[in-house]
Every structure is written in C-alpha cells, then in structure tokens.
Amino acid sequence: MKASMISHRKHGLAALVAASGLAMALLVAPVSAQAAGKLELKTESFKDVEKTGADGKKVVVRQAITKAVPGEEIIYVITYHNDSAAAVDDVKVDNPVPKGLVYKVGSAEGAGTRIEFSVDGGKHFGALDTLKVSAADGSTHIAQGADVTNVRWTLTTPLKAGASGAVSYRALLP
C-alpha cells in the first residue's frame, strides 16, 4: 500500500531531572517513522523500581517516569500501529536519543527488526561496532554508547493491516 500520512503521538517523559541542584526538563525526542502507509506512533518512558512483594521477596516493577536523577536508567518504549486497511512495507522507526542521555549499549530491542545506530544525528546508520567517530585531535574510535545520537529499527517483514508492535532502548542520565 502507498499512502502519505504518518501520525505521531508523544506520551511519557516530561520529567524533571535533578542534577547538581539544578532542575532541567528532559523531553521525549520526536520519534519518526518511514513507511509506505499510515502508522501511529507513541513514545513512553519508564524506569525499573525494586519493590517488596506481598510475599516479602524483592520484585522489579516498571513505572512511568516522573523524575530522573543522575545515574538512573530510562527505558524508552515506542509502540507502532498500522492504522490502514492494508499492509505497509519498509517500516523504519527512528528515535533520537535525547540530549544529555547516554545510550546503554546492547539495550535496543525489537522483535522482527534490524536495529541500527547513528552517531551523526541520523544522517547515516549502521551496526554500532562498524561506526567510527572522529575526535577533536583527529583520531578515530569505534562508536560507544555516548556517541549514539539515534536508534533505528527496520521491520524485516511488512506490517499487516491493524497490526501493532513495540521497540525499546535504555539510556542513562550521567
């Protein structure tokens, strides 16, 4: 199917970060999708919190994030839904890593997707271990989490009409 409308809904992190006595707003970076069809996207932000269950055992519970402090890990979940009556091909979900956060290497997930990264603001994508970054002194190094500017998931099969899915990654607030 060929269609031109792609919609986006942002939800989740409008969190305040306490860092060195200063509070700064962390905004969810605008997620985008490229596909020949109509997709609806939603971004949510979470953190894992350890709690004690009714049986006295420690359990990890995922909670919507309202505040983040230095050293905390933020989990970004991007859900996508094919809102059209036909399958869409070549679905790509591109999510910039918010400024001030560091991508956690190995944390990107998405069943049935090829995951790639960018270190130049989304101009070029590839496997993290194939990307090189130039330093101010002219030297280069293999990209690391702090170098990642964008995460991209490409669905490996067409997204059926009415189908949904989710991708995610984690980022650290240094």
pLDDT per residue as tens, the chain (174 positions): 332 223 333 333 322 222 222 222 343 445 556 555 588 999 999 999 999 988 999 999 999 998 889 999 999 999 999 999 999 999 999 999 999 999 999 999 999 999 999 999 999 999 999 999 998 899 999 999 999 999 999 999 999 999 999 999 999 999
- How far apart CA 102 and CA 105 sit, in angstroms, is 9
- Write the CA distances from 147 to 2, 43, 64, 155, integer angstroms: 35, 22, 26, 24
Task: Please give the domain boundaries of the chain with CATH numbers for all domains.
Answer: 7-172 (2.60.40)
pTM for this model (two decimals): 0.79
